[in-house]
Structure 1
Amino acid sequence: MARPETDPKTPLAQRLRELRRQHGDPQRGELAGKLGISVTAVATYERGEREPAASVLAAYADVFGVNLNWLLTGEGEMFADPAKAPARAMPSIDPALFRQVGRLVTRVHKEEGIKLPPDAVLDEQAEAYNALLARAEDPADAAELHSLLPWLEARLRRKLQTAAAEPGTGKRQA
């Protein structure tokens, strides 16, 4: 059974631990293997009991693409080589919210007297959904997203009214 981790004693130790977790190894084993050092060595570095040698820091940079400036000082981006950065999970579409946005898009277009072909409705729905996510401080917070629906409706109405007034936009009233 693994022992619980203690708080790191140094900022470097904290960043080493953060890097390991970014790479999805909460138990240090995979990281140690990739670096060619022992699990015990990783643990002492991450607790701040010992600082890694330059060759170990170079291995961190080589294997994980970590920015050594960030690792040593905390300044700059974590990864010097974005290709080696762990992939971030893409947020999944909330089907209920996506349908709600689609109904809002359809209703507002109808109320504004604008008829769109089915493919264009889907494009408008996707654009509106993405705008909603971009506006949210926390796109994973369903309550926040629902609270932004009135903003989305007002934004869509303004967009349609502006487009209807401009010739050549294709958003003429039906």
Structure 2
Amino acid sequence: MRMGRTTIAKTELGQRLTEIRGDEKRVDFCARIGVSENTYRNYERGTRLPDTDVLAKIAEANCINLHWLILGEGSMRLGEIEAPQTAAIETEFFVAVQETIRKTYKEVGARIYDADLARFSAEKYEEYIALADDPKDQKECDELMRDLRRRLKKQLTTASPDQAQSKRQA
């Protein structure tokens, strides 16, 4: 039984992070993944979102399916039998998509909130992973990220002020 105050998650991701930690003391869990206890508490509450590097560390340290961690789909644990329609997420490809989006928004002077970045990254990941013959091929990944950057930059710079605001939030 967990001692101390119970963390109430405001987001589905926060609920999944709490579920992963289980009965392990937060201080011990955080030491294993290299994140401060206060920061992880905020992740669990849903008041702050972990970046892709932290999500990858959490998944790796706990044998968690990254696809489940990010989207809540498929099996929680690696190695569990998953439904046929659920494909494993290519971690490095997802990180490349998210970083391309983050950098492009910054380059054009637009703001994207963490929650919106996570959702938009998941959408673009699905779109671009379908185009990849081999998502582990660095040359192909670089070409796809250049295409994503070019299209997103065009979309952000040609949008009307109202559309730009909604894109900044989407």
Calculate the TM-score normalised by the size of structure 2. 0.43
Calculate the TM-score normalised by the size of structure 1. 0.42
Higher relative contact order (CA 8 A, sep 6+): 2
Q: Which entry has the higher C-alpha Rg, 1 or 2?
A: 1
